[in-house]
Amino acid sequence: MRRRQLQGSLVAMVTPFRDGRVDEAKIRDLVDYHVHNGTDGLVPCGTTGESPTLSHDEHRRVVDLVIEHAAGRIAVIAGTGSNSTHEAIDLTVHAAKSGADAALLVVPYYNKPTQQGLYEHYKAIAESSDLPLIIYNIPGRTGVNLLPETLARLAGDCRSIVGVKEASGNLEQMSQVILLCGPDFIVLSGDDTLTLPLMAVGGRGVISVIGNFLAKETSEMAHAALEGDWKRAREMHLKLFPVAQAMFFETNPIPVKEAMAMVGMLPKVEYRLPMCPMTEANRARLRKVLVQAGLLKS
């Protein structure tokens, strides 16, 4: 996959469930929705896809299904991260064999490895496959921050490590990554609220949550920025900003699934424990935001 394709609006897909099982028909519907609405790439089996609650067989099946139904119409970046290096290698090799365009690998969580441990983790994965790899840095969830210096070392030593999804929330750190890793390294926002600020300093797009149900709008904003139309990009950013904030009224992906059900993209809201339905108070807050955004009638 050419690096220039790993930019714009990449969407962290939800995993729809029906009666406790993965809803394969709805996954196909969602792939078609994104193809028809300008999404540049799909990321199945990430955090938004509730990957920690999927069995290994389900994880592989969801990746295979998205690749199969995408049929080359849209890029697929498979979520293959784990806090076990061996497991991450296994999932990455599977994604490569299945035809994924790239893999997204979250920083190992809970273990709290050192920077050297993080380096060795990703280097081992890079040596296992030629698949382009995007590192996912989200210290608020993992408990450890992959420092820009470590990332630059990995980018220099491992050709297949082509980018990072930066969800540290720290624009200073993101700018440092861009400086240290160079112009060919792909820096993507992991927070919809920070996509435009990051792109203004050289970021290449977003791995989006709101793109699950605002695919066209998210793509338009990202591409306006890529094309240097900052006026249009700013208008779209401010329009989408309240909705992006609402996606964290509770833990992701609880709000995004609720929103998708409200706008008719999911027949019902279903999670796997420990994810649970939204409180009525927060559901009312979310509905109000969607009404104000013109997505629902009052």
For residue 101, list its beta bridge partners: none
Identity of the residue numbered 240: L
Q: Which long-range contacts (CB under 8 A, 24 or more apart) does 51-58 make?
A: 51/15, 51/79, 53/272, 53/273, 53/275, 54/15, 54/22, 56/91, 58/22
DSSP state of 32: H
Q: Which residues contact 140 (CB under 8 A, 6 or more apart)?
A: 167, 168, 169
DSSP state of 150: H
Q: Are 106 and 139 in contact (CB under 8 A)?
A: no
Q: Could you tell me the sign of the dihedral formed by the alpha carbons of 80, 53, 118, 163, in that order?
A: positive
Tokens of 186: 């792909």
Catalytic residues: 136, 165
Distance of CA 254 to the CA centre of its chain: 15
Q: Could you check whether the bond before residue 197 is cis, i.e. omega within 30 degrees of 0?
A: no
The torsion defined by the Cα of 42, 185, 222 and 232, in degrees rounded to 10, comes to 180
Tell me how far CA of residue 275 lies from CA of 31, 45, 192, in angstroms.
23, 15, 21
Q: Are 13 and 48 in contact (CB under 8 A)?
A: yes
